[in-house]
Structure 1
Amino acid sequence: MSQPKRGFHERLQALTPRQQQAFMAALCERMLPNYTLYTQMTGAGDPAGLRAILDLVWEQLVVREARIDFERQAEKLAELEPPGDDDSFGARRALEVVVALTSLLDTLRGDSPEAVLEVSRISKAGVRAFVEMTEGEEDASRLAKLVREHPLMADENDFQDAVLEAAETQQLDRDALKALRRLGRNEGVSNLGLEAG
């Protein structure tokens, strides 16, 4: 008798902590342009600071004996949040990047079993918010259908599936991690289909 096919969330939770971290890092990589765009539009934030922290995560994944103080990185990251009084669409998307990266750092600082699901949800929620904003549909059930069937949401689901598959099947050596990172960078296009200039 064949095993029933495991759902996406079960598969995510079945990954080793290191595989989960690689999955989350690839998603953060793809969300990063949203933060950069926010900075370009408002002058707030520091994309280079965020980039440096994410680079350290990749370094830790590649060089397991690397001694990186992720407590300190988490403190630095907290300072990169958009101002609390900015409730703009851009600020919310920029905050998602910071929150996702914070969840990833939590796993490097200790045990955080829900982090991988959290990062997956954050990325999808950003896409949903973007579709809701751009489609301007008032009817809730029509809007939900629009979101489900929207090309950006299909792309997001395909992307997360591809990253999960890559994380599952690999020993995650240097080349596999490089490939995952390239996948995450998505040629500079974010999960919202936006590119920072």
Structure 2
Amino acid sequence: MTKLSTFARVRQLEGWQAVAFSAALLERMLPNFALFKEVTDFDDEGVCEKCLSLLWESIKSPKSKINFSVQLEKVEQVTPDTADYDTFGVYPAIDATIGLAAAIMLVLKQDLQGSVVISKLSQGSVEAYLLASGVAEDEIKAHPLMEFEVALQNALLDAVTTSGPVAGVCDTLKQLALEEGISNIGIEIKG
């Protein structure tokens, strides 16, 4: 039996597991957005953090009434435009908001591959950051930050596919995502 690639494993996720995996990755992507907000005085009025909380809530309490169409509109409104900023930080910030939108579209069943989009966005953010930092393209796969990203995605996949109560699995995923205290591109997460 050949070992499936990370993306192939993500493609197999369905339902709450796909959303939970996505939310865990977003826990590591949103700090990049938070730093961008801090550096540029960009104000999303807490839309992105609230949306991530609502994603977790929708998994743990499936009967909760959350209007994700409205949340999608809000996220789209606070997605920064590269034309307005000349700082690299706008790119991982955009990746985070696009990831949130993909997770919402997954919940709304408008894009059942939303978790794959987020998985690729997260790895793409790491790759773009390393390239911008001067790491040669042929050295990216072996860079510790990229190796950690791939290992963490696989650890999240292992955790989300274990049996157990949904809330417990979600707590494990969130803990795994945050335990190193860094975003996907290595920014310290402020507690």
The alpha carbon displacement at 1:144 in A equals 2.3
CA offsets per residue over residues 52-95 of structure 1, 9 Å max, x none? Answer: 11000000000011110000101111121113422531011100
Q: Distance in 1 between matches of 2:28 and 2:4?
A: 25
Consecutive unaligned residues in structure 1, runs of 5 or more: 138-142
CA contact (8 A) 1:39 1:47 kept: no
RMSD: 1.7
* 1:144 and 2:137 aligned: yes
* 1:40 and 2:38 aligned: yes
**Amino acid corresponding to residue 184 of structure 1 in structure 2:** A
**Amino acid corresponding to residue 39 of structure 2 in structure 1:** M
Q: How does 1:1-197 map to 2 (within 5 A)?
A: 3-46=1-44, 48-85=46-83, 86-134=85-133, 136=134, 143-186=136-179, 188-197=181-190
CA contact (8 A) 1:26 1:181 kept: yes
**Amino acid corresponding to residue 167 of structure 2 in structure 1:** R
**Amino acid corresponding to residue 77 of structure 1 in structure 2:** V
The alpha carbon displacement at 1:41 in A equals 0.5
Stretch deviating more after TM superposition (77-86 or 144-153): 77-86
Q: Which has the larger radius of gyration?
A: 1
The alpha carbon displacement at 1:7 in A equals 3.0
CA offsets per residue over residues 11-59 of structure 1, 9 Å max, x none? Answer: 2222222111111100001111100110111001327221111000000
The structure with the largest helix share of the pair is 1
Q: Distance in 1 between matches of 2:182 and 2:44?
A: 19
Instruction: Give me the identity figure in percent.
Output: 30
**Partner-residue secondary structure (3-state), 1:100:** helix
Consecutive unaligned residues in structure 2, runs of 5 or more: none
Q: Distance in 1 between matches of 2:80 and 2:179?
A: 24
CA contact (8 A) 2:21 2:157 kept: yes
What is the total number of aligned residue pairs between the two structures? Answer: 189
